[in-house]
Structure 1
């Protein structure tokens, strides 16, 4: 057992965790999947209580409705019933699906998830007729586009070609784009539109030019010049939130760093032929660069999905682009010269569901990284009167999306929890207990080895000089008695409410920690165009406005390249450079905390949230500090505790943390673990197993492996093409069972 350093103050309040208390939301979900008795509402039954009503409607259909009016609307209850039916594999009729499309974004998302099974169960003709009646009964452009998307999702023909061509010339972008995608399902459909002179049929920007090209050319974007892939499976991984190589700006954070390094490492494993990291590109980004497939490293490419948006879409906006994303992903993943074997999605959002649908259509296996977020905080956030109704609805939608991804996935993996396994995941996803492959694995996440970036010395010098200038200014105004050198408190992350930089600054001021430290916050776009970032900076500046001393000790730096961040951390961690530096992560929670791992690897003493996945690798008082970040008061107490750790004890803990990260948490180890999962669920592996079981002959197994064809993708060294052609793989049937 790891023991805390006796020289480190112990925070005994951390022994009591909110997750140890009875949780009615967890109990309701467990009872729904028959893993536990029906829950008692307990103290969360105060009325009117929207949380209790919606949880009861969604998970406890046998519960009698309240005799008095409740807080839930009729639309809330209809949506709860729809989700319950979808979870049970009993979708509504096509007519009901069409009628529910007008009930809001969350209901529309549930309808799209129910639609494939509804069409299969009730027939294509009935489904097409339902869409046709819906189109004839509305003139609302948004609803018309949604109905066309619903038809395109299952390649239905709800209207005659002349009527569809009329819609393809509509002035509303959403309508004509949906009509164009549906035309792709009509035989030879797009040729008449190509010759049309109507302005609405002419591409007006990069997105529409790419859409036209994709419709005209089935091989778009085609197989670029390059070199054949190695034997093995072709893997795609999704990165739909933020930018891959701009951590700390907007929504770009540790996931981009993780997937960039992971893709590079996966491409070098024996069982993987190549890796595609799937990202999104909005209209301005497409105008600047219309190329959709870029080489990142040998065997690793970035595939960009066009999104019809004037800016990078946020997770809560992806539902409006769901069918378009599924269409683009299916089209592009099928144009690479050979099929993608495995698609790995992360995050419970509509973008991941769109890619899951693309996997179903293209025949790729689906792997989902599940996390108990927002599950673990549902009762705490919403279980008492006065909850934010819209926030509750959003969280229930995310829980539903996660359930659908679990149901669709061929394999579910988790993020290791405090016990090193997936026990917490099973608690919040009780349906996983019935899957045939057993409890989900939790492959260790990790960071790539540190490599000094080229030309970093001058860049890092300028950043260090900014910190040194603050210290020099403090010494100059201190009078004849030279004060002790202040501790540098460093934090790195995108400026976002969940990262809580504003709470950190407020805690730093209110606790008095500013009197003996300099706070350095790294993150945010240099342009300041993002509204969320501007709001966060404003709150941080307001927190020090009434305290000039603190304002002098606050250093705000824009986001840096990941390699520069790690170089800066090394410089500040080296005591020979004259700094006494500690790292603090103020996030409300971290599912894993890659930035925390990087600070530990650099040799810094780290204080990080007790909530989330950090306690899996950080033991309080042994290799860092766990702090309560739930309020400014508790975070301030954690900062004071961090500053009170003696230098000798800090060095010992930092050394233990550094040894752990370097020996255990590497992107190479993560790649090896995931490659095993990918190989196990790849369609070629399943076909090979089936053939081996039926014939028990070695040549059959070799033939199954040989059946996977190589592709032509960009070569890192720019060498010429090597074309190998093979038959395309038909889509394999997928059921809605939760079994693996």
Structure 2
């Protein structure tokens, strides 16, 4: 395209982003189903290079893997998946140009500019209007979608449900009794009382989120549920959903894992344990372990993978490990967190960990805190903890045999 024409299109995109008017691209030559899915509290990327940094946790990873799986399995009839996440205005403009291409199948990504710095999900409700506009723009840019999959009681799902209702798009909602089960647990423990509920709800928004789950489930064309020991009883008691009333509207599906990634990581770790050269991922882990004090090398690795956030309990895990007998028998490897530019939530956990074990003491006591790694690398490290690193870390079964 001539530079002049491309510039004119870019100016048009910028104007529509600012005004909220939707882009309307031609329906792509897609014969199968187009599915949209979203999580607006993460910077989702196809390579999962930022998995474990900031808010890019398990949901961000799951949506990448799920979208890839849907378009690769030709038996399910899905030709295109559009995964939406937050991003800058510049990123959003580029995505609109990409998504308006007439015949793009496969797993595509679109960023939504929330016009605000990232905030915790509990504080993001004022971004509903910007989220709704961004979702509508992306849906129209691809010429429409056949289905929107929602799974969180957050501002993204609230905004997407508004767009789905406006444009007549069916919604599939993955229902979990959250925060219902959290409220019940806090109530039983005595930490949440009638007198304290209002003060706590100002921060956690339990009441609004429970009502949002009920609304999304009632409006959905179909709901998906995770297996639980007393699923029907819990859904009826906690959420108010009677699974027996309309069983055709509900499907129970176990939450999936990417077996291909796990199988590759296990094969790689076993080969290295038997003498094959280390892959780049295992070589990097070996370099980290070599920095430990000599008396810490050869011990098994305890591994935790996740965001550095209080709900994940990383600092609590360090405290339990450091104060118990496992500290003498295994090194602790925490994978996750943006150490270069930590978010407020990450900084809170890092400060707590530093109070327990200062940075200068970590190698001496056996604490490895490398920050986040790409999803495939994290899987390789987890497999190495199971099968060991020759001369550096014992296999996981060694520790269990002595337990």
With the shorter chain as reference, the TM-score category is 0.7 to 0.9
Query: Within the alignment, does 1:430 sit opposite 2:240 as a pair?
Result: yes
Q: Please list, as runs of the form range in 1=range in 2, the aligned pairs for 1:190-201 lying within 5 A after superposition.
A: none
Distance 1:554 1:371 in 2: 35
Equivalence for 2:157: 352
Distance 1:530 1:388 in 2: 28
Q: CA deviation at 1:437?
A: 3.6
Q: Please list, as runs of the form range in 1=range in 2, the aligned pairs for 1:21-420 lying within 5 A after superposition.
A: 209-212=15-18, 215=21, 218-219=23-24, 222=25, 228-229=29-30, 231-244=31-44, 245=48, 246-268=50-72, 269-270=74-75, 271-281=77-87, 285-287=88-90, 290-293=93-96, 299-309=106-116, 311-337=117-143, 339-382=144-187, 383-384=192-193, 387=196, 389-393=198-202, 394-418=205-229
Q: CA deviation at 1:568?
A: 1.8
Q: Please list, as runs of the form range in 1=range in 2, the aligned pairs for 1:467-546 lying within 5 A after superposition.
A: 467-470=289-292, 472=294, 474=296, 485-545=298-358
| 3-state SS, counterpart of residue 334 of structure 1 | helix
- What CA deviation, in whole Å up to 9, does each residue of 1:378-413 have, x standing for no partner? 133244477464333511121111111112111111
Q: Judging changes above 3 Å, is the alpha-carbon distance between structure 1 residues 272 and 541 closer, same or farther for their aligned structure 2 residues? A: same
Distance 1:276 1:546 in 2: 42
Q: Judging changes above 3 Å, is the alpha-carbon distance between structure 1 residues 427 and 386 closer, same or farther for their aligned structure 2 residues? A: closer
Q: CA deviation at 1:566?
A: 1.1
Q: CA deviation at 1:496?
A: 0.7
Distance 1:435 1:288 in 2: 45
Distance 2:289 2:12 in 1: 44
Q: CA deviation at 1:489?
A: 0.8
Q: Please list, as runs of the form range in 1=range in 2, the aligned pairs for 1:651-690 lying within 5 A after superposition.
A: none
Q: CA deviation at 1:288?
A: 5.8
Contact 1:306 1:328 (C-alpha < 8 Å) held by counterparts: yes
| 3-state SS, counterpart of residue 35 of structure 2 | strand
Contact 1:236 1:342 (C-alpha < 8 Å) held by counterparts: yes
**Number of equivalent positions:** 362
- What CA deviation, in whole Å up to 9, does each residue of 1:554-606 have, x standing for no partner? 11011000011112222332246343355xxxxxxxxxxxxxxxxxxxxxx7x
Q: CA deviation at 1:353?
A: 1.1
Contact 1:207 1:308 (C-alpha < 8 Å) held by counterparts: no
- What CA deviation, in whole Å up to 9, does each residue of 1:651-688 have, x standing for no partner? xxxxxxxxxxxxxxxxxxxxxxxxxxxxxxxxxxxxxx
Q: CA deviation at 1:525?
A: 1.1
Q: CA deviation at 1:235?
A: 0.9
Contact 1:381 1:387 (C-alpha < 8 Å) held by counterparts: no
Contact 1:509 1:550 (C-alpha < 8 Å) held by counterparts: no
Contact 1:334 1:362 (C-alpha < 8 Å) held by counterparts: no
Distance 2:210 2:41 in 1: 18
Q: CA deviation at 1:371?
A: 0.9
Q: CA deviation at 1:223?
A: 5.2
Q: Which of these residues, 580, 585, 589, is aligned with residue 394 of structure 2?
A: 580
Q: Judging changes above 3 Å, is the alpha-carbon distance between structure 1 residues 546 and 459 closer, same or farther for their aligned structure 2 residues? A: closer
Equivalence for 2:286: 464
| 3-state SS, counterpart of residue 236 of structure 1 | strand
Q: CA deviation at 1:209?
A: 4.4
- What CA deviation, in whole Å up to 9, does each residue of 1:292-317 have, x standing for no partner? 2458x9511112222111x2343123
Asked which structure has the greater CA Rg, the reply is 1
